[in-house]
Amino acid sequence: MSDTATPAQPVPDSPPLGVTLAILGISSLTVMANATIAPALPGLRDYFADTPGIETLAGLVVTLPSLFVVLTAGLFGVMADRYDKRPLVMLSMALYALGGASGLIADSMGSMLAGRVALGLGVSGTMTMAQAYVGTLWHGAARDRFAGYQVAAMNFGGIIFMTAGGFLASVYWRLPFAIYSVSIPLMIFGWIMLGRVQGKVEATPRAADGSVPDEKFPWSAFFFVGPFAMILMITFYALPTRLPFLLDERGIAGPMATGLILSTATLVSIPGALSYGRIRRYVSAHAVVAVGFALMSVGIAVVALAPNIPMTVLGVAIAGAPLGVMFPNFIALFFVLVPAPMRGRASGLLTTAIFGGQFISPLVSGPLVHAFGLSGGLLAVAVLPALAAVAAGVSSVRASQRRAPV
């Protein structure tokens, strides 16, 4: 089948099943990519114990890819609007595999961090292109439903990767880096399936008088969604970057148990992601943000105070449950207002906000942990989503009073 669609044909609300599965598979590689090796951090820290500043550098192994997502996602977004996304996403997945798996052989922190940079470039292109495909291949209510399915796929991938990471780290700390090679078969499948749909968005059609409609990017929508997406990730990533050390300090879990505990967050988020379309029939998008942040604040606080593994699991579950509805909610709020030829840039901006929060997370939690200890630092982190919940709640009330569609 041709790589380009015939303009005269009506645009379906969703693409063929094979394309859907390809995008879901690609999406499963993205958000939890950094945290996959979190259970290996204590082992990595011990292996490179002679490296100055190893405590900080160990945290950067998890979050450094996010910096390069932040630096490059906008560029990938522009490229998604201008060029065929299919070869770009394949190149990104190859970088993902090579950069991620390089930790298997890296013999210094310098080479370890260089591999994480390559992984960041791969994640940036992979997530941005996947989101751009969502913005152009799904329409209307079908897009809202698929956004929930996409987040469920991301979180399902997180469960597999985090659990496998914990198990492999309990054998040898380097082994979790092998997980990144899973992108290779997904890359082959994606190349075949994505050849069935249009990979480049057509330019905005001219009006009858020959002029091009004046379409403007909805920056106001991004300045609502972007900061909240960033706060979400700053808060959530305090768990994979601090929880392994908190549990190690308390002597209540090893690497495998840590991986299982962290995977709880993604497991409990899946029902909400799959039900997002139904939830939105009854709850406004602003209210989803407010309730989600309130739950996350409570969950982080429970983790900080938990005296044992069951309470820790409960806190992680409470903090992770809102992820399933908040991610598709951000997509639904933002993409509906973005013209089709600009959805690559929209995807790049949303990716920047998400991974910007991931990168900033240890820079926020680090000084708090230094000042108050691991438990007190996590309690301080819990204040941030509580404030965000209040801000979103006020926004929800105002939107309701204006009776504005959200």
Q: Which domains does the chain have, with CATH numbers?
A: 17-200+218-402 (1.20.1250.20)
Residues of the chain with pLDDT under 70: 1-13, 31-32, 201-214, 399-406
Q: How many CB atoms lie within 10 A of CB 147?
A: 24
The per-residue pLDDT for 32 is 67
Interval 28-48: pLDDT, tens: 888 667 778 878 888 898 899
The per-residue pLDDT for 13 is 67
The per-residue pLDDT for 401 is 62
